[in-house]
Amino acid sequence: MIELSTEYFIVLLALFLCVAMAMIRIVKGPTAPDRVVGFDTINTIVIVSMVIFGAAYQTVIYIDVAIVYALLSFVSTLFIARYLQGGDF
């Protein structure tokens, strides 16, 4: 039986609030780099909340997923930045 204790639930709720604020920035953002900044922030918060999930459920596989997600999101951020600045790849 899996149950999430209250303190982890509060932490995850606060992190969800951060993701929501970054999403407002993504929807509103007047230029493309603004949207990329929001996207990058969401990536970091998702990594942190995966680690918290792993600790809360005592399921270590979430943390492995978080490591892979961190590296892949870094590569995707670099590629979007490269695309925005123009020029050859």
Partner 1 sequence: MLDMILTSIIYLLLAIGVFFNLLAGIGLLRFPDVYTRLHAGTKCTTFGSIFIIGSVILIGLKTWYLGDVNGSVLTIHSAVALIAILLTNPTGAHAIARAAHRSGVMPENAVIDELQIKGKKQKKTEKKETEDHT
Partner 2 sequence: MISFIITTIICFITYLLLTTGSGSFLGLWSIEEILIGLILSLITGFITHGLFVKNNMRMANPMRWIYFIGYLIGPFFVSLAKANIDVAYRVITGKIKPGIVKIKPDLKTDLGITMLANSITLTPGTLSVDIDETTNELYIHWINVDEDALKKKPVDCKYICGNFPKWIRRIAE
Q: Of 4 and 78, which CB lies nearer to partner 1 in the complex structure?
A: 78
Phi, psi of 23, rounded to the nearest 5 degrees: -70, -35
Of 1, 2, 13, 60, the residue at the interface with partner 2 (CB under 8 A) is: 60
Q: Is 75 in the site for partner 2 (CB under 8 A)?
A: no
Fill in the DSSP letter of residue 30: S
First CA to last CA across the chain, in angstroms? 50
Beta-carbon contacts of residue 41 (< 8 Å; ≥ 6 apart): 18, 22
Taking residues 29 to 58 in sequence order and writing x for each that binds partner 1 by CB under 8 A, - otherwise, the string is --xxxx-xxx-xx--xx-xx--xx-xx--x
Closest by CA to 27, choosing from 15, 16, 39, is 39
Q: Could you tell me the two tokens for 51?
A: 């680690």
R_g of the chain, CA atoms, integer Å: 16
Q: Least distance from C-beta 18 to partner 1, angstroms?
A: 4
Site residues (vs partner 2, CB under 8 A): 60, 64, 67
Site residues (vs partner 1, CB under 8 A): 7, 11, 14-15, 17-22, 24-25, 31-34, 36-38, 40-41, 44-45, 47-48, 51-52, 54-55, 58, 60, 63-64, 66-67, 70-71, 73-74, 77-78, 80-82, 84-86
